[in-house]
Structure 1
């Protein structure tokens, strides 16, 4: 048995005017709650330190860069790293990363229980658009402010298991899970900031968006026999609502815990990483059952190519 207690630290809304220091105090409160519940790992959302700034159209790169972190930890987040290390708890945190050579990524990191960063992932599947779109109910400018991740989908040995990461829209793409599944991943952690309404389809509201969230995460977990911990930033940010629905899902695709609010909320589950073995050895034994000679189209083609008429 390889028991692990994981905590999904959902954050409620972060307003545009709120500082990192204010947000970190909330993150520390969730960490303290997790410590009291015996957590080994606390997972925070995508862009956990700020509002979801890609909804705002900006033309000044200096202004854009104020939403990014040029180092991690930094002065604002060091108290969180220190508290986690003191409590012997590992962390996973999403944030906007500005690299020393000027690249911008939507990033998630994983630490060990000493606060050392042992894994980094940069979001691959960026949704949205580049220029201001008058046809949308609100803007979603991730393609303007971020570059597609350049690290692929690596996995990391940590906490006695094999861990992977993804961010938000990545969870909708089966390839994200499968690349990690092919590396034996046993737990995937991810953060998301998902608007409660589709900006291009107003009838797609929170109920359907929560359904798609569950569907994506549960399918990915089951089809790769892995635990998935999906953590939201939720609630109304300056008039722009985000869904909650944070989830901890087991390797059979069963929901172990699910958020009940759109505020700061901690979900905790004690799991056994060995529970991933059965699926990996039977129905999803990739070595025995995959037929890669038929999968070439997946990596050789992006857009749809219709059959001849």
Structure 2
């Protein structure tokens, strides 16, 4: 076996008024719980350090920048990295990244057990819109506050396995999983902040949102014979509700652990990476079965164009 004892560390709501120090203290508490449960790898959500700020329309760039990190680790996150090093636990978490060039990305990082950053991913599939939309029940302005990711979908060797990252809406796009699958990925980590109600269709509530979330994670895991660890920031933030449903999915697409609340919560599973081998060598043996000569439209065309 090549087993990675993995903790999905769900975060409850983070209010606008909550400081980085308070959030990092919560993260450290969850990290310590994960270590006590035997985990060597801990996965936190998308935008772990702040409220989900794209729900607000803000014109003052200085106010927007307060939600971003100019360095990682920085003064607020250094205690988290120090504790992870002490516990010898690797981690992945998401945050708003402000680059030295002044660019803004929705970013996730991967560390090893020594607390060293070995991987970075920037969210590719940004949902929502860029200008205020009066027709929506609330705003979803990721296209306003972030640039599309420019690093692609790389993978890294860590903890004896091959790991990749994606963020929230990426899970709905099979291409994201497949690009990593073609690099032999064995575990995909995924942080998300998903509103409990669709801002453009109020009839799509938490039950439907959780259904589509599970469907996306399970199909991606099965079709690429990989573990998927999906972790939420959940609960009611400043009056806006986010779903929970943090889960761990095995390479057969089965959910093996799932959170039960919308608060800070830990689930742990011993993920045997050898479980990926059967799918990768049989039905999803890409080298034997893929017919790339027929897939050209996937990279040649972005939008659908029905025939005349």
TM-score by length of structure 2 reads 1.00
> 1:154 & 1:297 partners in 2: Cα distance?
22
1:236 is matched with 236
1:120 aligns to what? 120
Tell me if 1:298 matches 2:271: no
Q: Which residue of 1 aligns with 2:7?
A: 7
* Partner Cα separation in structure 1 for residue 66 and residue 92 of structure 2: 22
> In the alignment, what sits opposite 1:61?
61
Question: After TM superposition, which residue ranges in structure 1, 4 or more long, deviate above 6 angstroms?
Answer: none
Q: Give the equivalent residue in structure 1 for 2:20.
A: 20
Deviations 1:4-47 (A, max 9, x none): 10000000000011111000111111001001001110000000
SS at match of 1:213: helix
Equivalent residue, structure 1, for 2:197: 197
- RMSD, aligned CA: 0.4
Shift of 1:208: 0.3
Structure 2 spans left out of the alignment, 5+ residues:
none
Work out the number of aligned pairs and report it. Answer: 308
Partner of 2:260: 260
Partner of 1:148: 148
1:186-212 per-residue CA deviation (whole Å, 9 max, x = no partner) reads 000010000000000000000000000
SS in 1 for 2:218: helix
| Matches of 1:79 and 1:188, distance apart in 2 | 26
Shift of 1:299: 0.5
Q: Look up the SS of the partner of 2:59 in the other structure.
A: coil
The answer for the alignment partner of 2:91 in structure 1 is: 91
CA–CA distance in structure 1, aligned partners of residues 205 and 271 of structure 2: 32
- Write the distance in 1 (CA, Å) between the matches of 2:189 and 2:83: 21
- Distance (whole Å) between structure 2 residues aligned to residue 271 and residue 11 of structure 1: 21
1:217-244: CA deviations, max 9, x gaps?
A: 0000000000000000000000000000
Q: CA deviation at 1:154?
A: 0.2
